[in-house]
Amino acid sequence: MENVFVIGVGLIGGSFALDIKKQNSECHIFGIDKNESHLDEAIGLGVIDEKSSFEELDKADLVIIAIPVDATLDVLPKVLDKINDNTIVFDVGSTKEDICLKVKSHPKRRNFLAAHPIAGTEFSGPKAALEGLYRNKTNIICEVEETAFKLQEKALKLFSELGMRIRYMNPKAHDKHIAYVSHLSHISSFMLGKTVIEKEKNERDIFDMAGSGFESTVRLAKSSPAMWTPIFQQNKTNVIETLDEYISNLKHFKQLMENGDFEAVYNEMETTNHIKDILNGIQ
């Protein structure tokens, strides 16, 4: 892949750019971003080689779309309009059903691979880009059968070189499952942060008492609202379902506390300790 175009030069797109350049120094990385200062910063950090535009996409071998999912709905068809027949395009969005439906009938649907690398940090922008971000991370591929085989191979070879594990899933199942393991986690973190901030107005010492448990739980509350609001919007039905279940569990736990049933509280926590076995099994 000689000409790689990265649309959105922040954490996710920038990390792909760094790893691709490390794997193949002959690649030329072009950056497209609506934020001009991000492009300047990305060049200064060596994340991309030069700025570009949609008009130059016809010379792309690979296009990575790493922008918020609402913007992807608008940008993806325009990208497919511009590319040549041998270009592979993949997105990195945390929702997949709406994106796949958007280009279902596009003449160049075969050039698109719907992907979701389960990787990232709470930071954003070009300075957040990291080499090795994707190593040993899972990359979920949806509707692989809709992508031309030779272009699938090109993308899968890249993912393999970056050390990613591949899972295949249909878009509807992806969006349902990701609501539980990712989207709910972010909402929990944001709301924990909100609760503590509101309490801190009257108790200034509260953050002096915050330990590593609070820090790790609230870490995701530093994530970009510009990225996460569209995700919640596109996956609204699944997210609401997960919230209903989560709120029900919180109410149940509160009821046990109110009843003074601490044997049941212990049992709830002990049963949930099984999560460590599950997580250890997928490391």
- The DSSP code sequence of 245-282 is HHHHHHHHHHHHHHTT-HHHHHHHHHHHTTHHHHHHHT
198 against 212, higher pLDDT: 198
Together in a domain, 188 and 144: no
Q: What is the CATH number of the domain that holds 64?
A: 3.40.50.720
- Can you read off the two tokens belonging to residue 206? 């509260």
Mean pLDDT for the chain?
93
Together in a domain, 178 and 140: no
Together in a domain, 239 and 131: no
pLDDT band at 266 (very low <50, low <70, confident <90, very high): very high
- Give the mean model confidence (pLDDT) for residues 222-246: 95
Together in a domain, 10 and 132: yes
Together in a domain, 53 and 140: yes
Lowest mean pLDDT among 64-78, 98-112, 128-142, 202-216: 202-216
Domain's final residue, options 152, 170, 188: 170
pLDDT at 208: 67
Give the span between the Cα atoms of 239 and 245, in whole angstroms: 10
Lowest mean pLDDT among 29-33, 56-60, 203-207: 203-207
Buried b (16+ CB within 10 A) or exposed e, 247-269: eeeeeeeeebeeeeeeeeeeeee
Together in a domain, 70 and 114: yes
pLDDT in tens, 64-94: 999 999 999 999 999 999 999 999 999 999 9
pLDDT at 213: 76
Q: Cα 48 vs. chain centroid, distance in angstroms?
A: 20
Q: Are 143 and 171 in contact (CB under 8 A)?
A: yes
* pTM of the predicted structure, to 2 decimals: 0.88
Give the span between the Cα atoms of 164 and 146, in whole angstroms: 21
Domain's final residue, options 125, 148, 170: 170
DSSP 53-101: -GGGGGG-SEEEE-S-HHHHHHHHHHHHHHS-TT-EEEE--S--HHHHH
Give the span between the Cα atoms of 161 and 178, in whole angstroms: 25
Sequence-separated (6 or more) residues with CB below 8 Å from residue 216: none
Give the span between the Cα atoms of 215 and 213, in whole angstroms: 5
Number of domains in the chain: 2
- Closest Cα partner for 95 from 7, 192, 169? 169
Together in a domain, 162 and 48: yes
Together in a domain, 137 and 184: no
Domain's final residue, options 146, 170, 194: 170
Sequence-separated (6 or more) residues with CB below 8 Å from residue 152: 113, 144
Give the span between the Cα atoms of 5 and 7, in whole angstroms: 6
Q: What is the CATH number of the domain that holds 267?
A: 1.10.3660.10
Give the span between the Cα atoms of 149 and 12, in whole angstroms: 25
3-state DSSP call for residue 34? coil
Together in a domain, 254 and 140: no
Domain, as residue range, for 142: 3-170
Together in a domain, 250 and 117: no
Together in a domain, 119 and 188: no
Together in a domain, 97 and 152: yes
- Can you read off the two tokens belonging to residue 72? 């992807």
pLDDT at 75: 98
How many beta carbons lie within 10 A of that of residue 50, not counting itself? 12
1 pLDDT exceeds 90?
Answer: no
- Give the mean model confidence (pLDDT) for residues 232-240: 97
